[in-house]
């Protein structure tokens, strides 16, 4: 049944006029599609059960999605069911198709509920479609017993009732509490009202932190330059090539250039580091925090 360009009333009328399949005819159509990929059989099977898809789609209107879109998704679920249905299992196609239709509609509703992904796990999906109903029932039962429930008690009971973690209940409660709002929307009705985005905390470094970090880096740079100047030319060359280059050189390559063994270069490097540490410690005890 083509759905494009038709409103939900027209689709419903067409679906109600479709034939009702008996078990034997349904089985023949299912075999024809599975074994021969007979598209005429598939079309007849889908058309006959569009009334089921539309009926299930109507139950999700309260989530704010257009009815036509819900019917489209229900039809997609019906086609998936037809493609995966195994007539040898001895169940009616309608029984099998219900799960696929419902899953397709639910996935669509959750994808379009919010720009933020509402849920991806089975527990979150169960919460999305059942939390309000369970919450209302628990509140009615508490009121009829002459008592009341605080928010924490209610969340705990919902968690136990649906069988999901308490953290998921708290998360979903926030997701269902309201719709999305633009960060560029103003916080008041005034034209000069402050936008919500202006209320977000700046995660970047603050001015004071930046100035303090620059001063610390400048001081450390001065200490290091002074420590390097206390080294001999050969020691300074080894330290620069080994530690201050983007691609540090190997002991072997430095030994070849300086006419020394690899072990001797390593010893000179270690001695240079000892000299630098003593020089830095002599300049300021604060440098120990940088060397830790």
* CATH code where residue 218 lies: 1.10.10.10
For residue 79, the model assigns a pLDDT of 94
Say if residue 40 is in the same domain as residue 106.
yes
For residue 2, the model assigns a pLDDT of 46
Final residue belonging to a domain, choices 94, 113, 132: 113
Say if residue 152 is in the same domain as residue 80.
no
The DSSP 8-state label assigned to residue 173 in this structure reads H
Q: How many CB atoms lie within 10 A of CB 215?
A: 10
Say if residue 73 is in the same domain as residue 131.
no
2 in a structural domain: no
For residue 1, the model assigns a pLDDT of 47
199 in a structural domain: no
pTM: 0.50
Final residue belonging to a domain, choices 80, 113, 146: 113
For residue 144, the model assigns a pLDDT of 83
- Residue 71: Cβ-neighbour burial (10 angstroms; 0-12, 13-18, 19+): buried
Over residues 163-183, the pLDDT tens digits come to 888 888 877 776 666 555 555
CATH classification of the domain holding 96: 1.20.120.1810
For residue 169, the model assigns a pLDDT of 82
What CA–CA distance (Å, rounded) separates 53 from 42? 15
Say if residue 19 is in the same domain as residue 104.
yes
Q: Which residue has the tokens 């939390």?
A: 131
Q: Which residue has the tokens 């603050």?
A: 206
Q: Which residues of the chain have pLDDT under 70?
A: 1-9, 11, 113-121, 174-207, 284-292
Final residue belonging to a domain, choices 55, 87, 113: 113
Say if residue 133 is in the same domain as residue 230.
no
15 in a structural domain: yes
201 in a structural domain: no
For residue 177, the model assigns a pLDDT of 64
Give residue 275's domain range: 207-291
192 in a structural domain: no
Residue 195 token pair: 């936008």
Say if residue 25 is in the same domain as residue 109.
yes
Say if residue 79 is in the same domain as residue 12.
yes
Question: What is the rounded end-to-end Cα distance, in angstroms, of the chain?
Answer: 73
For residue 85, the model assigns a pLDDT of 94
For residue 212, the model assigns a pLDDT of 79
Q: How many CB atoms lie within 10 A of CB 144?
A: 8
Q: How many CB atoms lie within 10 A of CB 255?
A: 18
Say if residue 211 is in the same domain as residue 282.
yes
Say if residue 51 is in the same domain as residue 15.
yes
Say if residue 77 is in the same domain as residue 143.
no
Q: Considering its fold, how many domains does the chain have in total?
A: 3
Say if residue 46 is in the same domain as residue 72.
yes
Say if residue 148 is in the same domain as residue 75.
no
146 in a structural domain: yes
For residue 285, the model assigns a pLDDT of 61
């Amino acid at each position: 049944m083509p759905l494009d360009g038709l409103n939900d009333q027209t689709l419903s009328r067409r679906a109600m006029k479709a034939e009702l399949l008996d078990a034997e005819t349904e089985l023949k159509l299912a075999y024809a599609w599975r074994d021969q990929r007979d598209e005429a059989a598939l079309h007849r099977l889908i058309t006959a059960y569009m009334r089921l898809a539309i009926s299930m789609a109507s139950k999700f209107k309260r989530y704010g999605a257009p009815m036509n879109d819900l019917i489209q998704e229900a039809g997609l679920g019906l086609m998936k069911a037809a493609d995966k249905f195994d007539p040898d299992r001895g169940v009616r196609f309608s029984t099998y198709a219900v799960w696929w239709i419902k899953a397709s509609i639910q996935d669509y509703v959750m994808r379009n509920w919010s720009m933020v992904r509402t849920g991806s796990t089975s527990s979150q999906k169960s919460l999305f479609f059942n939390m309000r109903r369970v919450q209302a029932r628990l509140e009615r039962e508490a009121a009829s017993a002459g008592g009341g429930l605080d928010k924490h008690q209610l969340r705990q009971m919902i968690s136990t009732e649906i069988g999901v973690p308490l953290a998921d209940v708290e998360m979903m409660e926030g997701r269902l509490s309201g719709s999305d709002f633009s960060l560029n929307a103003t916080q008041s009705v005034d034209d000069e009202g402050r936008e919500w985005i202006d209320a977000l905390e700046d995660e970047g470094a603050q001015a004071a932190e930046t100035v303090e970090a620059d001063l610390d880096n400048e001081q450390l740079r001065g200490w290091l330059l002074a420590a390097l100047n206390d080294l001999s030319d050969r020691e300074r060359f080894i330290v620069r090539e080994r530690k201050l280059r983007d691609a540090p050189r190997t002991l072997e390559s430095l030994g070849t250039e300086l006419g020394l063994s690899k072990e001797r270069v390593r010893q000179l490097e270690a001695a240079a580091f000892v000299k630098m540490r003593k020089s830095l410690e002599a300049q300021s005890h604060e440098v120990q925090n940088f060397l830790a």
